[in-house]
Amino acid sequence: MVKSRLQPAGHHIFAIEFSSIIMQQDSSRTITELMAGGGLVGMLSGTVEVDESLLGGKARGGKRGWGAANKTCLVGIVERGGRAKTTAVKERNRDVIFPLIKQNVQAGTTIDTDEFKAYSTLPAEGYEHHTVNHSKYQWKNGEAHTNSIEGYWSNLKKSIRGTHTFVSPKHLQKYLDEFDFRYNFRRGAIIFDEVLKRIGVNNEIDILYKTSRDGAKDSNLTNRD
């Protein structure tokens, strides 16, 4: 892990050398690109919530909601208390959603969804399926709910509006991956360390930090003398 508690001189040297290492290793890739795939390793399991949402600007007049212009459909899969995977898609139907579920959710997992009919054949695909009927204002059905994914959508949209203001459909998946990545490493792991692993410079950074720290200590001792 990269530390930051260096004396001014050591910190300055560290910052310059750190930038040099990053540029030499991967100057062509942005942080967003390094977060591609959302950092998801392995299949989602336990209880998983699946939902769709729309993202895009509000057009004046015309149709609102599903089928509205200037909107991109998102499919979100959230492991309750765990990880997430979101994908921008062109259509909202079974043929689009089910491959995403099979790619990311372990067979036999319990999946909670709303009443959208496309999910009705999940049991035939090897999943346990529970629903809540939002059209009838049902937000919880026993242990079944979609509160986790609904909260995820809310935070995602706030993040995009607050940080990026606008994201074109062409680059949207990159930002979804970045948000997934931050979410998936929100506990236990340090996001910065994970990005460094993807660049492949962890060992060099650790050595650089130790050298800079020791140099700062020597400088302090000399100044005291």
Residue 30 inside a domain? The answer is yes
Q: Sort strands 84-89 and 128-131 into parallel, antiparallel or unpaired.
A: unpaired
CB 115 within 8 A of CB 133: yes
Residue 93 inside a domain? The answer is yes
Both 99 and 128 in a single domain? yes
Residue 178 inside a domain? The answer is yes
Both 50 and 160 in a single domain? yes
Number of domains the chain contains: 2
Residue 48 inside a domain? The answer is yes
Q: Quick one: pLDDT at residue 98?
A: 97
Both 21 and 130 in a single domain? no
Residue 158 inside a domain? The answer is yes
Both 69 and 20 in a single domain? no
Residue 210 inside a domain? The answer is yes
Q: Quick one: pLDDT at residue 4?
A: 42
Both 76 and 173 in a single domain? yes
Q: Quick one: pLDDT at residue 87?
A: 96
pLDDT (tens digit, 0 to 9) for every residue of the chain, 225 residues total?
444 444 444 444 434 444 454 444 444 456 666 666 666 768 999 999 999 999 876 655 555 556 566 788 999 999 999 999 999 999 999 999 999 999 999 999 999 999 999 999 999 999 999 999 999 999 999 999 999 999 999 999 988 877 766 677 888 898 898 889 888 888 755 665 666 666 665 454 444 445 545 554 444 444 445
CB 167 within 8 A of CB 174: no
User: Could you give the CA distance from residue 84 to residue 86 in angstroms, rounded to a whole number?
Assistant: 7
Both 200 and 153 in a single domain? no
Both 135 and 106 in a single domain? yes
Please give the backbone phi and psi of residue 4, each rounded to the nearest 5 degrees, phi first. Answer: -130, 0
Both 107 and 140 in a single domain? yes
Q: Which two tokens stand for residue 133?
A: 């009927």
Both 150 and 45 in a single domain? yes
Q: Which two tokens stand for residue 137?
A: 């204002």
Q: Which CATH number fits the domain that encloses residue 140?
A: 3.30.420.10
User: Could you give the CA distance from residue 52 to residue 59 in angstroms, rounded to a whole number?
Assistant: 20
Q: Sort strands 72-79 and 110-113 into parallel, antiparallel or unpaired.
A: unpaired
Q: Quick one: pLDDT at residue 169?
A: 80
Structural domain span for residue 22: 8-34+190-224
Residue 3 inside a domain? The answer is no
Residue 1 inside a domain? The answer is no
Both 15 and 114 in a single domain? no
Q: Quick one: pLDDT at residue 49?
A: 98
Both 94 and 178 in a single domain? yes
Both 44 and 135 in a single domain? yes
